[in-house]
């Protein structure tokens, strides 16, 4: 079981990323979208890495995605899983896969964001297998 026993070092926000971490503590995963060129990027910058416009806006991500790659390191309680998850919005982010047995993981598996407390800092977005996440059922049809 990859759990969240590992102490998560606190992210140190920059002025341009404070909103991202505040939202994470509120249970929202945000991305940056450029109003000038329309591209979504991650990690978030004040300046668009595609066109250098400063007209970048926060958008709310669905929190859903698929495992792009992952690796479990460490033994027993110290084990944790580093991963890249490709979000439905098209960007891939570095993260951890948590609250699931590493043996159940696979590339392409559907995952959903969960937020884990850091040591003295904001909550950190991580992912767990979508079928294990406690979610509000999707509306029928």
Residue 76 or 138 having the CB closest to other proteins: 76
Instruction: Give min distance, CB of 140 to other proteins, in A.
Output: 33
Which H or E run includes 68? strand 64-73
- Residue 48 class from Cβ within 10 Å (0-12 exposed, 13-18 middle, 19+ buried)? buried
User: Could you identify the residue written with the tokens 């341009």?
Assistant: 16
Instruction: Give min distance, CB of 85 to other proteins, in A.
Output: 10
If you compute the radius of gyration of the chain from its CA atoms, what whole number of angstroms results? 16
Tokens of 106: 């696979």
Residue 15 or 139 having the CB closest to other proteins: 15
- Which residue from 19, 72, 110, 130 is in contact with other proteins, where contact means CB under 8 A? 72
Contact string (CB under 8 A) for other proteins, positions 5-34, x = contact? -x-xxxxxxx--x---x-------------
């Amino acid at each position: 079981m990859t759990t969240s026993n590992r102490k998560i070092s606190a992210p140190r926000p920059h002025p341009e990323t404070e909103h991202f971490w505040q939202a994470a503590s509120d249970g929202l995963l945000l991305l940056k979208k450029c109003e000038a060129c329309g591209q979504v990027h991650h990690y978030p910058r004040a300046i668009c890495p595609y066109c250098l416009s400063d007209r970048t806006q926060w958008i709310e991500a669905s929190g859903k995605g698929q495992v792009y790659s992952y690796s479990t390191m460490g033994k027993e309680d110290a084990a944790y899983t580093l991963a890249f998850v490709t979000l439905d919005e098209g960007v891939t982010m570095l993260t951890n896969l948590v609250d699931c047995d590493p043996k159940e993981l696979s590339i392409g598996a559907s995952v959903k964001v969960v937020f884990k407390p850091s040591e003295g800092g904001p909550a950190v977005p991580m992912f767990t297998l979508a079928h294990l996440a406690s979610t509000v059922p999707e509306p029928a049809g």
